[in-house]
Amino acid sequence: MKTIQVDLGDRSYPIHIGSCFSDDALIRSIPNTEVVVVTNETVAPLYADQVLASLKRDGRRLGQVVLPDGEAYKTLDTVNRIFTYLLEGNFSRKVALVALGGGVVGDMTGYAAACYQRGVDFYQIPTTLLSQVDSSVGGKTGVNHVLGKNMIGAFKQPKAVFIDPETLKTLPNRELSAGFAEVVKHGVIADATYFEHLEANVESILALESDALVQVIGRSCEIKAGVVAKDETEQGVRATLNFGHTFGHAIETTLGYGQWLHGEAVAVGMVMAADLSVRLGMIDNLLVERVKNLLAVAGLPIEAPSGMTQNQFSTAMKRDKKVDAGALRLVLLQSLGKALVTADYPQSSLDETLAEFCRD
Ligand SMILES: NC(=O)c1ccc[n+]([C@@H]2O[C@H](COP(=O)([O-])OP(=O)(O)OC[C@H]3O[C@@H](n4cnc5c(N)ncnc54)[C@H](O)[C@@H]3O)[C@@H](O)[C@H]2O)c1
Ligand SMILES: O=C(O)C(=O)C[C@@H](O)[C@H](O)[C@H](O)COP(=O)(O)O
Ligand SMILES: [Zn+2]
């Protein structure tokens, strides 16, 4: 078992990576006397019994909420189903909510934990590549609004994260690729050597070769944990984790949640942000080609959805959470492994990038 610590003072927590399901002592050791597992209709039949069995203990009350599956259900209405279950069952403030599933389940469970009786304990058992390398770490929780992605939410750190890479064996390939987009992001913004490692090992990672996979989950969690420890609530450097997301979120919101997967939208978003960085003279076009090539090899899109207009991008991007005093801050590249958050770019250059990808 590999363990990475997220250092946040009295809210620090471990990320355990290994056979957390077959060797279930860590999951078993969750101390709360009331535990509710929150999952969805796809993940429940695969893993919920196993997790509930691990949690079973004399004197502990267990519950389970099974949510509908899909990004389209990442809403306040769905979170309200969790509240209704907890209230009907008279669960107290001592309850721990355990998110079992991908990022959608994790983000909603964390938000429910932040709100239920003004805050209860929360654990993450992520079962997609995306959630194992990104969303289970860092405490961003929340739901989508029809006008913007993740617009309603709270920072709520989990007490621990339990990652069992074996769960990825049941994950559809399209979802695996989507998770890989966030892995590429970590290399591009924070670690050139890691990016080179991904270029050299993309096939073995996506073939789920155990060593390659554990190494990638570990390195991505280390990078994310390091950034979050420096800037938990995104006052500064954490915004670099949003590389590609301003464009990507615009795609998700405009097409309708769930049409494109989050990782797919972020893949194109990263190419667009890199394109803008070239236009501003910050990086060489060769780097854009390397990013595009790695994403394409992983089966990810590198072009904007056909039919999406420049105006649709602009409208959605104006609502980005990184807008400050009316100016849209974007994450751009200074070099491989180095990102910068800035509102200091000519609007005409952004327009050129949008025009290049939209052709409307
Ligand atoms: N909080 C954060 O920091 C953060 C970071 C990145 C992304 N996100 C959010 O995460 C969400 C995307 O997460 P995701 O990519 O995990 O999508 P997801 O949660 O929708 O899961 C993808 C699909 O895989 C299924 N699934 C999950 N585990 C499985 C398994 N082991 N075997 C078979 N099927 C399985 C799910 O039911 C779903 O159909 C988006 O809403 C995004 O905004 C949050
Ligand atoms: O943890 C972060 O910070 C990130 O930005 C990680 C992103 O991959 C993730 O998609 C996040 O949910 C986006 O955050 P948002 O604040 O732009 O909604
Ligand atoms: Zn993301």
pLDDT the model gives residue 82: 98
The SS3 call for residue 207 is coil
CATH architecture of 174-358: Up-down Bundle (1.20)
Model pLDDT for residues 310-357, shown as the tens digit of each residue: 999 999 999 999 999 999 999 999 999 999 999 999 999 999 999 999
Query: Which contacts qualify for 356-359: CB closer than 8 Å, 24 or more apart?
Result: 356/275, 357/268, 357/272, 357/275, 357/303, 357/304, 358/304, 358/308, 358/309, 358/310, 358/313
As a whole number of angstroms, the distance between CA 219 and CA 212 comes to 11
How many Cα atoms within 13 Å fall on the side-chain side of residue 324?
11
Q: In the β-sheet with 34-40, what is the strand arrangement from edge to edge?
A: 2-6, 13-17, 160-163, 121-126, 95-101, 34-40, 61-67
359 pLDDT band, cuts 50/70/90, is confident
pLDDT the model gives residue 170: 98
The sign of the CA dihedral 341, 264, 15, 204 is negative
The sign of the CA dihedral 55, 58, 59, 65 is positive
The domain defined by 2-170 folds into Rossmann fold (3.40.50)
**Ligand 2 atom, smallest distance to 224 CA:** 1
Would you mind telling me the total number of residues written for the chain in this entry? 360
**Which ligand lies nearest the alpha carbon of 130?**
1
pLDDT the model gives residue 36: 98
Residue nearest to atom 33 of ligand 1 (CA): 171
As a whole number of angstroms, the distance between CA 162 and CA 131 comes to 11
For the chain, where do the domains classified as CATH 1.20.1090.10 start and end? 174-358
- Residue 171 above 80 pLDDT? yes
Cβ-contact 247, 317 below 8 angstroms: yes
pLDDT the model gives residue 360: 72
Annotated catalytic residue 140: yes
Cβ-contact 102, 190 below 8 angstroms: no
**Which ligand lies nearest the alpha carbon of 252?**
1
Beta-carbon contacts of 280 under 8 Å, excluding residues fewer than 6 positions away, are 332, 345, 349
What number is the average pLDDT over the span 100-127?
A: 98
- Residue 294 above 90 pLDDT? yes
For the chain, where do the domains classified as CATH 3.40.50.1970 start and end? 2-170
Write the single-letter amino acid at 261: L
- Residue 68 above 90 pLDDT? yes
Annotated catalytic residue 118: yes
Residue nearest to atom 18 of ligand 1 (CA): 102
- Residue 135 above 90 pLDDT? yes
- Residues lining ligand 1, Cβ inside 6 A: 40, 42-43, 46, 69, 71, 74, 101-105, 107, 127-128, 130-131, 134-135, 138, 140, 150, 167, 170-171, 175, 178-179, 262-263
DSSP 8-state assignment for residue 30: -
What number is the average pLDDT over the span 140-159?
A: 98
Beta-ladder partners of 327: 324
pLDDT the model gives residue 32: 98
Model pLDDT for residues 259-286, shown as the tens digit of each residue: 999 999 999 999 999 999 999 999 999 9
What are the structure tokens assigned to 140, written together? Answer: 């961003």
Of 156, 159, 185, 245, the active-site residue reads: 245
What are the structure tokens assigned to 182, written together? Answer: 């966030």
172 pLDDT band, cuts 50/70/90, is very high
The ipTM estimated for the assembled molecules is 0.99
Query: At which residue do the structure tokens 């079962």 appear?
Result: 127
Q: Tell whether residue 170 is among the known ligand binding residues.
A: yes
pLDDT the model gives residue 245: 98
- Residue 166 above 90 pLDDT? yes
